[in-house]
Amino acid sequence: MNIDDIKREFPIFDDKIQNNDLVYLDSANSSQKPRVVVDRIYDFYTKEFSNVGRSVHYLAVAATNLYEQTRVSVQKYINAKDKDEIVFTKGATEAINLVANTFGQKYLSEGDEVLLTELEHHSNYVPWHFLRKAKNIKIEFAEINDDGEVTLEAIERKITNKTKIISVSHLSNVTGAILPIKEIVELAHSKNIPVLIDGCQGAPHLRLDMQDIDCDFYAISGHKMYGPTGIGVLYAKKKWLEDLPPYQGGGGMINEVKKEGITYGELPNKYEAGTMATAQVIAFNESIKFMEKIGIQNIEKHEKELLDYGLEKLRKNNSVNIIGNPKEKGGVISFTIEGVHPHDIATILDEDGVAIRAGHHCCQILHDKLNLPATARASFGVYNTKDDIDKLDEAINKCKKIFNL
């Protein structure tokens, strides 16, 4: 795999940004888009546009077929058993909200417990918090250890006979910890507890096999997988999609609508109310193909090399503290510099075209636990190189110089 060739497929790197070559280290936030994805959106709107699933004219049928092709691509990519287990959403956030809402409606009542972890992104906490308000349920948090990871034992400690669902990240967007999700699912299932995996950071970087992981739900974000914004996927075992109530009501999700009553459509239409992000779903197929062409094992290997190089480099840089030290870690390095606030770091790095993120990364629970109001974070994608990390290191040195460290 030749990174220079891959990088050339991303138009954003063609031009200078603010007179700098772009060093994009914010892929955990959102990835850049390859030309094939951008072109697909343009081509669909200019040559093939129609709404899907309704009309019978040529364009409508063609668009419906394209839309459904993405579903099959996703199914194959994550090795789901059935294409009807793939529900398109506006993002991973909506996927988690869908599960919290419908599962909560049917299966949660006062005193029941939902088990999360201290690592969770706000999008895997706030939807459950709504239920805490509405239904008086309890939310428990499995604790992180000193290395910033959540172990199987930490999960086990918080399971009680009131635990009704477990919802955990696949890969932490702050410490980079990869959770032992297969073992968590096995443990949970031995106690008849379903498991939702927030796969926002897992899907773009790790090989996925739904039948092997055996989780009940898996939430995916399209725009972190080199795909368009406004598109995500909820994978759910068919038994759940058949069993749970619909999420949103509207066109497309119904079977028959009468004054006396309504019946709902078959899967997967039951969960796709209204006009979906058609162009984005169709273009998302190109993201999947793009990743398949490179090969997920090559992506994993490349990002692991970058991570090892980055950790080595930054550990040598005095006054840089790396947050967490998980044994299984994805391409995320969160750090602080003693004496420089993360926002100042981000502004100074940006001056040299080094784009990182600073803040709590939508993980306030975790930052409270770490007793840090904010951290700086560099995260990798397929287009990053060791040169990018060298530039990060140089920009950090400049930062230290400005602050007289």
Q: Are 304 and 247 in contact (CB under 8 A)?
A: no
Q: Site size for another protein, by CB under 8 A?
A: 20
Q: Are 329 and 405 in contact (CB under 8 A)?
A: no
Pick 29 or 105: Cβ nearer another protein: 29
Pick 248 or 347: Cβ nearer another protein: 347
Active site residue 363: no
Cβ–Cβ contacts within 10 Å for residue 136, how many? 12
Say if residue 310 is exposed, middle or buried (CB neighbours under 10 Å; 0-12, 13-18, 19+): buried
* Residue 394 interacting with another protein (CB under 8 A): no
Largest CA distance in the chain: 74
Determine which residue in the list 374, 382, 389, 392 makes contact with another protein, applying CB under 8 A: 374
| CA 85/CA 73 separation, integer angstroms | 12
Structure tokens at 221: 């974000």
Which H or E element spans position 154? helix 152-158
Pick 241 or 374: Cβ nearer another protein: 374
Determine which residue in the list 150, 178, 340, 366 makes contact with another protein, applying CB under 8 A: 340
Which H or E element spans position 336? strand 332-337
Determine which residue in the list 2, 4, 15, 18 makes contact with another protein, applying CB under 8 A: 18
Cβ–Cβ contacts within 10 Å for residue 395, how many? 20
* Residue 367 interacting with another protein (CB under 8 A): yes
Determine which residue in the list 1, 134, 257, 402 makes contact with another protein, applying CB under 8 A: 402
* Residue 270 interacting with another protein (CB under 8 A): no
Window of 101-109, 142-150, 209-217, 346-354 that interacts with another protein by CB under 8 A: 346-354
* Residue 283 interacting with another protein (CB under 8 A): no
Distances (CA, A) of 241 to 66, 272, 392: 23, 12, 45
Determine which residue in the list 16, 45, 373, 386 makes contact with another protein, applying CB under 8 A: 373
Determine which residue in the list 358, 378, 382, 392 makes contact with another protein, applying CB under 8 A: 358
Determine which residue in the list 33, 224, 237, 360 makes contact with another protein, applying CB under 8 A: 360
Which H or E element spans position 233? strand 232-236
Q: Are 213 and 181 in contact (CB under 8 A)?
A: yes
Structure tokens at 90: 């506006």
Window of 83-91, 262-270, 281-289, 335-343 that interacts with another protein by CB under 8 A: 335-343
Pick 168 or 395: Cβ nearer another protein: 395
Say if residue 289 is exposed, middle or buried (CB neighbours under 10 Å; 0-12, 13-18, 19+): middle
**Annotated active-site residue in 200, 215, 362, 363:** 362
Pick 219 or 346: Cβ nearer another protein: 346
Q: Are 371 and 360 in contact (CB under 8 A)?
A: no
Determine which residue in the list 54, 239, 315, 343 makes contact with another protein, applying CB under 8 A: 343
* Residue 359 interacting with another protein (CB under 8 A): yes
Contacts with another protein by CB under 8 A lie at 18, 339-344, 347-348, 351, 358-360, 364, 367, 373-374, 402-404
Which residues belong to the active site?
A: 362
